Structure 1
Amino acid sequence: MSDEAGEHVHWADDGRGQREVFLDGRRIDCVAYCDTKAGIAVVADVPLRSTDGKHIDYRPVWGEIKVISIEQATPPSEPARAG
């Protein structure tokens, strides 16, 4: 994986707020880590699974990764117009 200090690296608790992650243009959920430069994301399947009964199973996926903050992804609601 790439340099973990770059803006292209995102993980669940990095302090940059909630984001949506897209793999090849499709939104993916349960992303623990992703690197947009390397094109990799580490995800959990939904519903969550655990083969050992203690830890959630994660798997890598590869492709074009795009990360958008929730504020950018959800447009603000427009006020109602009179007339």
Structure 2
Amino acid sequence: MTARTKHVGDLTVYAGSLAELAAVADEYATGRRPMPRGLNAGHLEHVAEQLRAGLRVHDLGPLRFYADAADGAPFRAPYAPPAADA
């Protein structure tokens, strides 16, 4: 499975497992995804580390990362990407 994505204006929201979200953050940090204005590789490296450590929510302004519940229930809130079961 891959992280779910939703775009709202200049905001990009990712939801998924901690591992999936850390992989997305790594892609930004290594330049495989275009870096939003105001952020840098260090920001995204730090987010990837925190996701791997189990911190579930990261709001970087133009990028937001929301981990699904430990039991696999999809993250649901305003701006949440649609869940597979939606």
What TM-score results when the alignment is normalised by the length of structure 2? 0.23
TM-score when normalising by structure 1: 0.23
- Pick the structure with greater CA Rg: 1
Structure with more strand by fraction = 1
| Larger helix percent | 2
Higher relative contact order (CA 8 A, sep 6+): 2
